[in-house]
Amino acid sequence: MNFLHVILALTLLALAGPTMHAAVKSAPASPDELAKCLEQALKTKNKNAALELFYWEGASADMKAKQQISIDMLFDEIGQGLELTSVKPAELPPGLQSEQVIGGVKYVPNIPVLGAIHVMLAEDTNPTEFVFAYGKKDKSFFLAALVAERDTGKPSGKE
């Protein structure tokens, strides 16, 4: 019997350098292009390229590190020989919790969530799916990061 493990990752990795929206001239212009960029990063085993796909504005260093765990797990699975079978944009899964409370602090996506990038890995008995929420900032698409919500109800880092 096959089991599907869905691992929701709203954000990934600690930032090793400048964010993509500040450092890259041509950020993905569509959800399909964002999925292709993530797929390329996974196929070439380039964690930094995957991290550059996140919109990190307002995310604390601690939260970035916590969110890095999902990316690390994904790259570890691929490194152990699991086959990458698909990377596709889709609607958000029903019941997806895009907000989280950690240590009494409410965390929310730092950009409006429009959908999810689904990453499927093949295993003989246990296929694995990673789901990353994405949104749009200006004219570019990014994977969403979690930020602490201010008392005003707006994500931190937003004025």
Q: Rounded to an integer, what distance in angstroms lies between the CA atom of residue 75 and that of residue 100?
A: 24
CATH number at residue 64: 3.10.450.50
159 occurs within a structural domain: no
154 occurs within a structural domain: no
**Average pLDDT value for residue range 67-85:** 92
The pLDDT score that the predictor gives to residue 97 is 80
pTM tops 0.85, yes or no: no
The pLDDT score that the predictor gives to residue 155 is 54
**Average pLDDT value for residue range 82-94:** 92
Q: Whole-number mean pLDDT of the chain? A: 80
Q: Which of 78, 28, 20, 11 is nearest to 49 (CA)?
A: 20
**Average pLDDT value for residue range 129-158:** 81
Edge to edge, what strands does the sheet with 100-102 contain? 100-102, 105-109, 146-148
Q: Which of 77, 67, 46 is nearest to 132 (CA)?
A: 67
- Give the range of the structural domain holding residue 124, as residue numbers without chain letter: 5-148
118 occurs within a structural domain: yes
What is the DSSP code (8-state) at residue 99?
A: -
Q: Rounded to an integer, what distance in angstroms lies between the CA atom of residue 143 and that of residue 118?
A: 12
Residue 54 — pLDDT band, cuts 50, 70, 90? Answer: very high
The percentage of the chain sitting over the pLDDT mark of 90, rounded to a whole number, equals 57
